[in-house]
Amino acid sequence: MQDISRRSFIIGAGATALSLGAVGALIRKGVAVADIKNFDAKWIWPEGAEVNGVNDYAEFVDSFTPTNTNDLKIEIACESMYALYIDDELRYFAQSSDFPQKAQYKSNEYKLYDKLDISKFCTPGKKHNLRILIWHNPGKEGCQAFLSGEAGLIYQILQGNTKLTSSGKTTQSRTLENYWHGETMRLITGQMGFSFRYDKNGTITEFHDSAVNESKSNNFNLREILPLQLDPRVDGKIVKRYEDSVLYDLGKEYVGFLDIKFKNPKAQTIVVSYGEHICADEQGHGEGHVRRQVGGRDFSVDIKSNAGETVEYLNPFRRLGCRYLEISALKIDEKSKGDLPTEIDYIGIRPVMYPLEDKPYNFKNATMNKIYEACIWTLKCCMHEHYEDCPWREQCLYGMDSRNQMLCGYYAFEGHEYQRHNLILLAQSLREDNMIEICAPCNNNYPIPMFSYAFIIGAAEYIKYTKDKSILDHIKPAIDAIFTKSKAMMGANHYIPKFPHPFWNFIEWWNGSDSDSGILNLNNIFIIAHEKFKSATGISYLTEEELNNMRKTLDDKLYVSSKGEYCLDLEDRLKDLSSQLGNATAILAKLPNANENLANKILKDMQGESTGMVTASLSMRGFLYDALLEFNDPKYKKAVYDDILKNYTTMMDSGYFTGTFWEDERGQHAFSDAGSLCHGWSAIPIYYFNEYYS
């Protein structure tokens, strides 16, 4: 049996498939995202293996002999993740973040394939071995990071227009028994899906001809972003040796594949826990441990081997987001603690990165540069097959989170193919009810209406910064549907009411805007999205009269003249509650009483002279800054600058800084100790520093 733990891995796998100078060429006239590709190949899976299961692994082997290495490529698609080896060296890996046929989506199907250069790995006239590992459906029902169809792999290797080999019945395959399958493996989180257990001595099954699935669609869209690259291992440094565990520090947050070499003293399972911070044990003793279990989540992976065996292992599928790693052991019966490995040669993370070309920066002081540098690293840790909210806990593409990330990216990095790809992916999640899903792709059912509007804001900003209106061919149907749905919700009332079940009327994580927010922010952000899209494209969905009727209605219902502020809603506690965010979005939506007097009230509240407003969270602070900067007064510009420095230096000066910025000002203590310390939406100083303070 071929040992999937073998140690020959190319550094920077896929990084040179296209030079960074070719990034801009990805947005080209030659192949549009809407173009459909038909493979001259078959969808295959091991004969007799489950095709609708979860957490299943399979292995496929083939060979090919090129006559030359000009224009030598592989075209490949799968459900759900693949690792591609040529001559037993890992060359490419990817997660298939797309939309296999699912009835709840209007697009019904949007299946991506990768077109990968393999010329540099091959020799003319030499027979090369191809091996592809597949991890199918890593998340059970409710997962927000995967949407998987029937299990399968399809590929073809082409030399120019000549096919050298392709997937079919005679492709040799087998289930991969080195990994635990099915729901016996624990979930890391509901959003991310399953952890893994690798067994070095798993049952060996024989290769056989593959089963062909003729019912799966053979139509594909090209994934028009660069392949992810695998960087050299970052070794963990020992922080503390405990009686039954060893704690390692990577120095800062990294996101990538676990890479480890150790020897077991007995037949047992090594457990590697990972996290962004350490804490004392339950009795408050010790210098700290990785917080493995947090509210039903389990941030750990397993490696099993026999006594005296040396295990050299890199997992090519599951990315870990962490600063700390901790090794412990279980006895073979899985019910009690085992003994630590007699030798741990190394443990670390092989960072998985999207290839980027940074734009230069040099701001007026060291603090700004330090914040900016950490913001850049935060963005990079949250960019893989698509934008991620946080790499530790979720790894999901949200319409709101990614809007912040896209905006920062125009200033931070060269090219814009990545933003384009994410917007098109979000548009494919359009539901039958004419709003986009909570994540793209997603196997859940509680969409957030405001995130649909944030997606439109992101689309408008994309067109503003890139002048690439061709994207409308791919995303405008979703935008049309969202505006049509919202206008229908509005009816003759001149405002959008709260959405009914299954929608989640969420705005942000603070009081009054979390589980059941009011109509103020929802309507204001709808107006903002409409006006930004109209400004970028010239396309309008509401007349000026309809917009003014909305503004007047919101003003009549929600403006509290005695306070000179807007309340969040018409009913219950929200009618007596105002927020920084709600009043800031009122300014941006140009409600009648949203004037500079209101901006001054927001400013005083932001600076600690409390007027009773609910504070805007880190995720939404950009709306607050934009509202203040609407007014041409240096005091607002200074206030925004001071607020950014205060919030971000507080994170940097804390004892929990990982080189990245947080999901929430409360850090790891947010959300019952599940707050992430690396979150893409928090990189927003990149935009403000460049736009206002460079």
In three-state form (DSSP H/G/I as H, E/B as E, the rest C), the secondary structure along 174-199 is EECCCECCHHHCCEEECCCEECCEEE
Q: pLDDT tens, 624-682?
A: 999 999 998 999 999 999 999 999 999 999 988 999 999 998 989 888 889 999 999 99
Average pLDDT over every residue of 480-508: 95
Residue 6 has pLDDT above 50, yes or no: no
Q: What is the pLDDT of residue 571?
A: 85
Strands 300-305 and 128-136 come out as: unpaired
pLDDT at res. 279: 85
Rounded to an integer, what distance in angstroms lies between the CA atom of residue 589 and that of residue 403? 18
| Biggest CA-to-CA distance, the chain | 84
Radius of gyration in angstroms for the set of CA atoms belonging to the chain, rounded to a whole number:
26
- pLDDT of 258 higher than 60: yes
Return the percent helix, strand and coil in the chain, to nearest 5. Answer: 30, 25, 45
Phi then psi for residue 33, to 5 deg, are -60, -30
Q: Lowest mean pLDDT: which of 44-48, 288-292, 393-397, 678-682?
A: 288-292
Report the alpha-carbon distance of residue 343 to residue 263 in Å, rounded: 5
Region of residue 564 (left: phi > 0; alpha: psi -120 to 50; beta: else): left
Distance (Å, rounded) from C-alpha 387 to C-alpha 396?
A: 7
Over 70: is that where the pLDDT of 55 sits?
yes
The residue with tokens 């999207």 is 354
Helix (H, G, I), strand (E, B) or coil at 685: helix
Mean pLDDT of 442-457: 94
The yes-or-no verdict on residue 127 having pLDDT over 80 is yes
CA angle 70, 74, 75 (to 5 degrees): 130
**pLDDT reported for residue 19:** 33
463 in Cβ contact with 536 (< 8 Å):
yes
CB atoms within 10 A of CB 125: 9
Q: Using CA atoms, how far apart are residues 194 and 288, in angstroms rounded to an integer? A: 26
Q: How confident is the model at residue 24 (pLDDT cuts 50, 70, 90)?
A: very low
pLDDT of 14 reads 37
Q: Is the pLDDT of residue 61 over 70?
A: yes
Q: Is the pLDDT of residue 444 over 90?
A: no
* pLDDT value, residue 459: 98
Residue 76 phi, psi dihedral angles, 5° rounding: -145, 140
What mean pLDDT do residues 475-480 have?
Answer: 97
pLDDT of residue 130: 98
| Mean pLDDT calculated for residue range 374-402 | 97
Q: Residue 101 has what pLDDT?
A: 67
330 and 269 Cβ atoms separated by less than 8 Å: yes
Nearest Cα neighbor of 378 from 344, 340, 409 is 409
CB count in 10 Å sphere of residue 345? 12
**In the predicted model, is pLDDT for residue 439 greater than 70?**
yes
CA 221 vs CA 112, 163, 559: distances in Å: 5, 19, 49
For the stretch 339-363, pLDDT in tens is 898 899 999 999 999 999 999 999 9
Question: Phi and psi dihedrals of 81, rounded to 5?
Answer: -140, 145
Q: Which residue has the tokens 């005695």?
A: 562
The secondary structure of residue 499, as a DSSP letter, is P
> What tens digit of pLDDT does each residue of 533-559 get?
999 999 999 999 999 999 999 999 999
b/e map 513-547, b = 16+ CB within 10 Å: beeebbbbbbbbbbbbbbbbbeebbeeebbeeeeb
Instruction: Give the number of residues written for the chain.
Output: 694
Strands 197-199 and 300-305: parallel
Strand, coil or helix: 653: helix
**Cα angle 591-594-599, degrees, rounded to a multiple of 5:** 150
**CA–CA–CA angle 669, 672, 676 (5° rounding):** 55
